[in-house]
Amino acid sequence: MITTIQHGPVCELRLSRPPVNALSPDLIAALTESVRSAPKQGARAIVLSGTPGRFSGGLDLPLLLTLDRAGMAELLHGLYGLLGTLACSPIPIVAAITGHAPAGGTVLTLFCDWRIVAEGDWKLGVNEVAVGLTLPPVLHQALALIVGRRQAERLAVTAVLIGPAEAARIGLVDEVVPAPEVVPRAIGQCQTFLALPPQTMSETRSEARKDLTALFAKSFDKEIDELLTMWWRPETQTALRAILEQLSNRKQSSAARL
């Protein structure tokens, strides 16, 4: 589910769960483990990439709808664990956004040190509300740290998906580059971090990110309980199942066109 590629001191973790790198319990566990073990195995920076055209489609909703409350609780604890692992990584992480990154796809990048997106008609944003999911406080806060308070309000409440140019304009990504250059440029940005005096860079990085890491200094039990209650309320279940039907129809019509 994760393809690991070494580029000298830079470890690329490429999401590799076809067709859209959707976040399943297994992918979440694998990514958490990979991010945690990379520095132990000598990596000094990480590139988090996806496949061409797909960074990550976010949570694997069809799979999640088969889970019971215990299963969803486990998934959410795993997801929060992954976000905390990204946020508190001792080494820099550069997101190489190789394609679509709606909802959970964009969310992963918020906890990284740098965001580079491929040119193209890709969609980024936190459109959780459109599929019936209240954006949890920790995600809202992390988003506001990147794009500022007003753009966080706009993106979260309207569930708008935006392209690379607008993402760059509002600061949701740092750079837009041609698709073949996304991963090389991400490696280059890692090398920029690594060319600096390491202890000095690391201390300054900790200071700069202490508001982000502080988000994970508390228990998320209550926040996760509220998400579980939300998940099974009628409005959310109805919205989720409507999305599922859309996805299924889209697949069938794609098949019919063949």
| Footprint of a second copy (CB under 8 A) | 92, 113-114, 128-130, 132-135, 137, 140, 145-154, 156-159, 171, 174, 192-193, 196-201, 203-205, 207-209, 211, 230, 233, 235-236, 238-239
Q: How far is the CB of 26 from a second copy (least distance, A)?
A: 27
Comparing CB distances to a second copy, the nearer of 51 and 113 is 113
Comparing CB distances to a second copy, the nearer of 121 and 207 is 207
Comparing CB distances to a second copy, the nearer of 63 and 130 is 130
Q: Enter the tokens of residue 247.
A: 């996805």
CA distance 232 to 72: 10
Q: How far is the CB of 196 from a second copy (least distance, A)?
A: 5
- Please name the residue that has the structure tokens 């837009």: 176
Q: How far is the CB of 211 from a second copy (least distance, A)?
A: 7
User: Helices 25-40 & 69-87, crossing angle to 10 degrees?
Assistant: 30
Q: How far is the CB of 258 from a second copy (least distance, A)?
A: 32
Burial class (CB in 10 A: 0-12, 13-18, 19+), 150: exposed
- Please name the residue that has the structure tokens 């900790």: 206
Comparing CB distances to a second copy, the nearer of 9 and 137 is 137
Q: How far is the CB of 25 from a second copy (least distance, A)?
A: 23
Q: Tell me, rounded to whole angstroms, the distance of Cα 3 from its chain centroid.
A: 17
Q: Enter the tokens of residue 118.
A: 């491929």
Encode 69-100: b = buried (16+ Cβ within 10 Å), e = exposed: eeebbebbebbbbbbbbbbbbebbbbbbbbbb
Q: How far is the CB of 174 from a second copy (least distance, A)?
A: 7
Comparing CB distances to a second copy, the nearer of 30 and 152 is 152
Comparing CB distances to a second copy, the nearer of 66 and 199 is 199
Are 131 and 103 a contacting pair, CB within 8 Å? yes
3-state SS assignment for residue 32: helix
